[in-house]
Amino acid sequence: MDKKGVVETLQKMSGLVGLVDRETTLIAYYEGSIEPPIMSTEIIWRDISEVKQGINACLVGNIDYQEHVASSFSPKQVVYAGEIQTGFVVWEAANKPLSRLKKELSLFPQEMKEGLLNYYREQVTLELKPAQQAALKRDSHALVGNFFKIVSYWNHLLFTLNDRYLLDQLGAVKQIGSFSLKPVYYLVRVEQAYQYFASHNTKLGFEEYNAIQEEINHLLKENS
């Protein structure tokens, strides 16, 4: 069954209030209890009440940073907001619940932005010490893992600075290349740093790290 057929089938389900298309994935929003059918298309199921609570938390900056979505390191509430804001509503109930939420998110919430920037700035700082310890022990595996976390936090800072939602780390570094606020040659330099760390050339790796971090600090100072 193609995506159009899946949408036509799902919208007949009792309790379903809307469907959002995010390229390869459909997000189905429901209220009450529902038994998801087995479909050929990948479908994410969201309780609309939980989504509304999450979006309201984003609007006032009251975000729970402890509950992350694994694919992005993003707080679940921010993911809920991003899925609504960036997705295409292909169907919704007559009272337009998804369109109303999308309208609330037409501007990137300022309180959420400030909270995300402060949180991910701190995470970068916290991750630096174990990275340095891994380098001293010449543990490339641990060091590359630490650097992956640091780059993920950098990605969050840059997405947030540009009023974007980061919903997946896959392709994020490349996507940042199209942003107006970003370090020069970000993708190339991040990949170069990975190569340095993986080949035990930690001196050059940390030189690249420090240079990128300095540019990001400047962007944060000038734009937040």
Residue in the block written with tokens 């400047």: 218
Asked if 22 contacts 86 with a C-beta cutoff of 8 angstroms, the reply is: yes
**Which residues pair with residue 20 across a beta bridge?**
27, 89
| Residue closest to 140 by CA, chosen among 209, 200, 97, 50 | 200
This prediction's pTM: 0.92
The confidence score (pLDDT) of residue 218 equals 97
* Nearest in space to 223 (alpha carbons), one of 191, 188, 179, 189: 179
For β-strands 25-30 and 16-22, DSSP reports them as: antiparallel
In whole angstroms, give the CA distance from residue 80 to residue 55.
Answer: 7
pLDDT in tens, the chain (224 residues): 577 788 888 888 889 999 999 877 899 999 988 887 777 678 899 999 999 999 999 999 999 988 778 778 899 999 999 999 999 999 999 999 999 999 999 999 999 999 999 999 999 999 999 998 988 888 888 999 999 999 999 999 999 999 999 999 999 999 999 999 999 999 999 999 999 988 889 999 999 999 999 999 999 999 97
Task: Give the per-residue pLDDT at 3.
Answer: 75
DSSP per position, 101-158: HHHHTSS--HHHHHHHHHHHHHHHHHHHHHHHHHHHTT-HHHHHHHHHHHHHHHHHHH
**Is 192 strand, coil or helix?**
helix
Question: Can you count the helices (H) and strands (E) in the chain?
Answer: 9, 6
| Whole-number Å distance between alpha carbons of 72 and 221 | 25
Could you tell me if 101 and 108 are in contact, meaning their C-beta atoms sit under 8 angstroms apart?
Answer: no
Measured in residues, the chain has a length of: 224
